[in-house]
Amino acid sequence: MDEFMQAAIEEAQQGLREGGIPIGSVLVHKGKILGRGHNRRVQAGSVVLHGEMDALEHAGRQPASVYRDCTLYTTLSPCPMCSGAILLYGIPRVVIGENQSFLGEEALLRLRGVQVEVLQDSTCIALMARFMADSPELWNEDIGE
């Protein structure tokens, strides 16, 4: 297991322990984690802090030149908002744990030149499958079925 995807999974697991949605992410620049985070919908009542957004937020204000050398790791295929953030900041590469539970805007990212890799990692798949079975009302709350 790639150490950065492992870190994203640890973030997702931390979110689950907090009673939250188990999606984690890390932003990596030249082999170093700049920011890590997990979905804060439940914990902070946030509708903008998905895992990827939380990682970007914790990385803080970075110049365009840094984003252009970054890879974003996320346990789940990035939704339209998080994909938009990837495009906004010109992050050139995204490594995705899995896209079986939810398929985000991977096609749009690829169309815009982002390198997208999907691992279909069994730990990521199991985390989401269990969460969606245990908490369907939370998973469907904001964007519906």
List residues binding a copy of itself (CB under 8 A). Answer: 41, 45-49, 53, 56-57, 59-65, 67, 79-85, 87-90, 105, 108, 140-144
| Smallest distance, a copy of itself to C-beta of residue 35, A | 9
Backbone phi, psi, residue 141, to 5°: -60, -50
| Smallest distance, a copy of itself to C-beta of residue 65, A | 8
Residue 64 or 133: the one with the smaller Cβ distance to a copy of itself is 64
| Smallest distance, a copy of itself to C-beta of residue 142, A | 6
CA distance 87 to 52: 13
Helical H runs in 89-135?
A: 106-111, 122-134
Residue numbers annotated as active site: 52
Q: In Å, how far are 19, 50, 104, 106 from 83, measured between CA atoms?
A: 25, 11, 8, 8
